[in-house]
């Protein structure tokens, strides 16, 4: 997963730097064609993938300095970047793959995909906002609440 994200960064000519970020609880930043990750605050590869995807999402969707999260415009840009990350790391087909593999709950799904449980929950919420309670993809129905996949007959 991380390799695919790093390949994406390379293709877009985005600089990638690992450096301590002096702001508490800020694990990643994107600005001026550069992504900075603070490895001292990132505990797992899954967490790193989620943070990296969101920062790439800022490259793909954001403009200007959006650090002030009191601004409605900045909040919208933050949401767009997260939505981009959700779709990048967990496209709908991933749910079907997890079903075929035998995953039975969200913890197994997040582990199989390589994302955090929190990121998976946010992604499910994003898809519920887009599609409602379920979506049909090919011969499958993906249910978002509770999370599950059923093959159509």
Whole-angstrom distance, CA of residue 46 vs CA of residue 116: 6
Of the candidates 134, 132, 131, the one whose C-alpha atom is nearest the C-alpha of residue 96 is 134
Q: pTM here?
A: 0.90
The pLDDT score that the predictor gives to residue 63 is: 67
Q: Can you tell me the distance from the alpha carbon of 29 to that of 46, in angstroms, rounded to the nearest whole number?
A: 17
- In tens, the pLDDT along 39-84 reads 999 999 999 999 999 999 999 987 666 665 677 776 787 899 999 9
Amino acid 114: pLDDT: 97
SS3 letters for 134-148? EEEECCEEEEECCEE
Q: What is the pLDDT of residue 64?
A: 66
- Is residue 64 left, alpha or beta, with left meaning phi > 0 and alpha meaning psi from -120 to 50? left
Q: Is residue 63 reached through a cis peptide bond, with omega within 30 degrees of 0 on the bond before it?
A: no
Whole-number Å distance between alpha carbons of 2 and 89: 10
What pLDDT band is residue 2 in, cutting at 50, 70 and 90? Answer: confident
**Structural domains for the chain:** 1-89 (1.10.10), 91-153 (no CATH)
**Per-residue pLDDT averaged across 114-143, rounded?**
97
The whole-number pLDDT of residue 66 equals 62
């Amino acid at each position: 997963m991380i390799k695919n994200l790093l390949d994406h960064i390379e293709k877009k000519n985005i600089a990638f730097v690992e450096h301590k970020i002096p702001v508490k609880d800020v694990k990643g930043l994107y600005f001026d064609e550069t992504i900075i990750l603070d490895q001292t605050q990132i505990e797992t590869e899954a967490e790193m993938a989620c943070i990296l995807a969101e920062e790439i999402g800022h490259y793909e969707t954001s403009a200007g300095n959006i650090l002030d999260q009191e601004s409605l415009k900045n909040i919208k840009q933050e949401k767009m970047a997260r939505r981009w990350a959700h779709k990048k790391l967990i496209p709908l087909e991933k749910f079907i793959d997890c079903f075929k593999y035998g995953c039975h709950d969200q913890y197994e799904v997040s582990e199989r995909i390589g994302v955090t449980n929190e990121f998976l929950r946010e992604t499910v919420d994003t898809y519920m906002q887009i599609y409602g309670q379920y979506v049909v993809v090919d011969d499958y129905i993906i249910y978002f609440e509770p999370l599950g996949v059923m093959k159509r007959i």
